Structure 1
């Protein structure tokens, strides 16, 4: 078996395990988070969102990126692992202590005194995540996504299902969410380490430490920039509005953001690991893979987000109840923004694999400045203004990233448009169909919630048929080889459709 075939098989198995684990985790998260939200309400969720905002930033500092160097090294020694783990302990302790000591100051910045206890209680998450980084990155290096998914699903079950839900019913406040996150992080750390069992003896220095630090600092700065672009809006909302507002804002955002990041968590590491092993001179192959990824996102995934945007109010009413009705209007812009988030999320590893990690950092600085200005201006009005401003900025950032990748891989604008066209058509048709069915249902006296499932089913079926009918006619020839492994994993009923069968057999 050739090295390329072995890598392809390894990547396919990784995607398979990643998809299975992500589906399980997504179902668990979806059901558990909805139950927790119904029990606790917007205000308690808003307090927790403030703590998450701070700790997620601190976690990027604690996991300062040195462990990412383990993925790219040709050979990893025990000394490399000891050195990385030692630095993760040191930095994780410093950051966790800083968050705990500064919790009162952080709460005053939010204008919410109750947030101090939440931030202080969540500080250990920074250390726990830092300690798990060496094990997780070694598993990614091995493309052992089976172990990664088992640890993530298992830790979520223990933390949120077995601990969080009972505590929410008993305590009825934010403490249930805090304990759930701490337990989940602890179990995930133990589980990942058990799969790797790297040496734990401290070691401050190795010959390769400068190179790993260079990779780590680049990744850390990029991740911090990504955090700012993803969270500056919530920081503005937390500072400018009530705890209930940030609760509704976070609930609407997370409803579409959680499945999106779950999907990225499966595809992005596999895409990065496989792309990093491609011949850097083979730009044509890299370009074909990248265009195939864009096509799948826009043709298969984006229409579902468009349907969610059209059906935002009945979705919130059905899932969360009347106490969360303010989240309905916020869900529409967030759902529309998620395809752009997927696109930039898949563009990042392509730049890294092509040796242009710094290019992403430089290109995003102007976007960050624009993000800050738009959020600050929008916060002078209703919170809905912030949501729509952020949705527009998602598309600006995605366009920036796509432009960078197209320049690096020499993808002509004509080929890019040919890749994007079928997905854009599918989104328009699905959106118009969902809106028309809602209007017809209201005229017939059927409530929006009652129409929700039939409309979603029709939209999904229409998307799959449109994909099958247009795929072989619209996909550029150099994209088809990269797309076939994805199509080969579709259900047999779809693969029997003439258009897909012809594309698979060409």
Structure 2
């Protein structure tokens, strides 16, 4: 009886957490693309090339400063005061070191990429790295306690503030430096709120204490997570680095613009699940039946959104790009079409399979899969890059498919259901998406010579959505009802 109550309480907290992360994801997901629209209107493709390098540097530093410790904290049952203190000061030392290194090499990077603006943008970026450091441990403790309502509210505030300040700076003509200043202000505000909420919930238990021996188990766990994250980040961004080194800033800006926009949409779908996944799966790791059913169910839920949204982007890109972003971004259309298809396997597998393997205490498995697939990708990228930008896209697509399928194959061996069963779970979702695509293409062909591109885009989205939902309810009625039940839209 007690186990049932614990499980029921966990399910209730998980659903509540997912609701809040979903709400946060909607707000963040809407503000992100809207902000990209403003950036596209006020910045040139060349400036987007510079922004791509700044974004890469911020992402790299955020990955290094965490060092996989957040996952180690969540996975461990209890965290002592000595462990909290040692981890906190370790983060402080690490971010001070990283900030200093970034400040020192700013001029060098500006020279290497032939982007003079980096010489003053990257020192500001180093402040973002340093300010963010103290919050890493407390953010992990909030997630461990499933306090996703508080986390979501903080992220919503951060993104609204970032949106308002960025738009204001762009309107006033501050350009790239305004974007970095807005990011600095948003990070500082969110760090202050995280510290406040952690203190309020009595999660902070810090004293003047540091011991390498105490944090060694966290580092042993985190090193594999960090290795996986750093390799994933590197392989996701090395294409942009190579383009920045060997091709023009304009090509990098167009490429980064399309890829970054679709990455934001990918996060819109996965973020509501991903933050809740690891702590929930960690609590279910001793019940293989519930773990397997939960994994398959969430996979299908992700598929409900991933297939129609990203296939829809591919078939409507030629209409929405000039309409929403402006004629100067027409050259990004092929990249929107390619990346929208490439990212579907990442949505379905990457975060979910990694979270499950971490919950089972197998971070090394994820690390070695990434090591092999990422190494293969880097080799292919250097070979393909000499054949032009579209060959780079092809290499990235091969990498995504090989990585996600390898991860899923290994993950399936940990569950009651095999790899083939997992693949067949998407057959009706894919069928509904194919019917939707055929209908949208028919509408576009029939109206191309008669309607404005804005009307064609609107009709494509409206009619395509209706066709997909009708097909989905017909083919996956039971799973759709279960989704509605799980989020308590219906009783």
Q: TM-score, normalised by structure 1?
A: 0.90
Specify the SS of the correspondent of 1:325. Answer: helix
Aligned 8 A contact 1:67 1:84 in 2:
no
In the alignment, which residue of structure 1 is the partner of 2:191?
189
Cα displacement (A) at 1:231: 1.2
**Which ranges of 4 or more aligned residues in structure 1 deviate by more than 6 Å?**
none
Matches within 5 A, 1:164-203: 164-197=166-199, 198-203=204-209
In the alignment, does 2:391 pair up with 1:388?
A: no
In the alignment, does 2:304 pair up with 1:299?
A: yes
**1:432–1:370: structure 2 CA closer, same or farther, 3 Å change rule?**
farther
Cα displacement (A) at 1:257: 0.8
Cα displacement (A) at 1:121: 2.1
Aligned mates of 2:116, 2:385 — CA distance in 1: 21
Cα displacement (A) at 1:276: 0.1
In the alignment, which residue of structure 2 is the partner of 1:12?
15
Aligned mates of 2:380, 2:121 — CA distance in 1: 29
**1:490–1:464: structure 2 CA closer, same or farther, 3 Å change rule?**
farther
Aligned 8 A contact 2:19 2:487 in 1:
no
Cα displacement (A) at 1:89: 0.3
Aligned 8 A contact 2:310 2:341 in 1:
yes
Cα displacement (A) at 1:69: 2.4
Specify the SS of the correspondent of 2:210. Answer: coil
In the alignment, which residue of structure 2 is the partner of 1:452?
457
Cα displacement (A) at 1:37: 2.0
Specify the SS of the correspondent of 2:116. Answer: coil
Residues 18-54 of structure 1 deviation map (CA, whole Å, 9 limit, x = unaligned): 1111111222222222112211222222211111112
Q: What are the ranges of 5 or more consecutive residues in structure 2 without an aligned counterpart?
A: none
Cα displacement (A) at 1:349: 0.1
Aligned mates of 1:277, 1:388 — CA distance in 2: 39
Cα displacement (A) at 1:391: 2.7
Aligned mates of 2:281, 2:57 — CA distance in 1: 33
Residues 440-477 of structure 1 deviation map (CA, whole Å, 9 limit, x = unaligned): 111x422333211111122222222222111258xxxx
Matches within 5 A, 1:351-430: 351-430=357-436
Query: Residue 291 of structure 2: which of 259, 263, 286 is its match?
Result: 286
Aligned mates of 2:285, 2:50 — CA distance in 1: 48
Aligned 8 A contact 1:104 1:116 in 2:
yes
In the alignment, does 2:157 pair up with 1:154?
A: yes
**1:137–1:413: structure 2 CA closer, same or farther, 3 Å change rule?**
closer
In the alignment, which residue of structure 1 is the partner of 2:483?
486
In the alignment, which residue of structure 1 is the partner of 2:252?
246
Count the aligned residue pairs.
483
RMSD: 2.2
In the alignment, does 2:240 pair up with 1:234?
A: yes
Cα displacement (A) at 1:426: 2.4
Aligned mates of 1:377, 1:21 — CA distance in 2: 41
In the alignment, which residue of structure 2 is the partner of 1:476?
none
Aligned 8 A contact 1:48 1:118 in 2:
no
Aligned mates of 2:83, 2:283 — CA distance in 1: 21
In the alignment, which residue of structure 2 is the partner of 1:140?
143
In the alignment, which residue of structure 2 is the partner of 1:23?
26
Query: Residue 333 of structure 1: which of 331, 338, 356 is its match?
Result: 338
In the alignment, which residue of structure 2 is the partner of 1:463?
468
Specify the SS of the correspondent of 2:457. Answer: helix
Cα displacement (A) at 1:300: 3.2
Cα displacement (A) at 1:318: 1.6
Q: What are the ranges of 5 or more consecutive residues in structure 1 without an aligned counterpart?
A: 474-479, 496-503
Matches within 5 A, 1:308-323: 308-323=313-328
Aligned mates of 1:300, 1:68 — CA distance in 2: 27
Aligned mates of 2:299, 2:400 — CA distance in 1: 16
Residues 258-308 of structure 1 deviation map (CA, whole Å, 9 limit, x = unaligned): 12124323211211111100143x323222222222222223321110010
Specify the SS of the correspondent of 1:227. Answer: helix
Aligned 8 A contact 1:85 1:202 in 2:
no
Aligned mates of 2:247, 2:344 — CA distance in 1: 27
In the alignment, which residue of structure 1 is the partner of 2:329?
324
Residues 105-148 of structure 1 deviation map (CA, whole Å, 9 limit, x = unaligned): 22333243333322222112222232211111011011111111
Aligned 8 A contact 1:80 1:206 in 2:
no
Aligned 8 A contact 1:62 1:127 in 2:
no
Aligned mates of 1:93, 1:266 — CA distance in 2: 32
Aligned 8 A contact 1:329 1:384 in 2:
no
**1:250–1:491: structure 2 CA closer, same or farther, 3 Å change rule?**
farther
Aligned mates of 2:406, 2:187 — CA distance in 1: 34
Aligned mates of 2:34, 2:223 — CA distance in 1: 37
Cα displacement (A) at 1:56: 1.2
Q: 1 or 2 for the larger relative contact order (CA 8 Å, sep ≥6)? A: 2
In the alignment, does 2:135 pair up with 1:128?
A: no
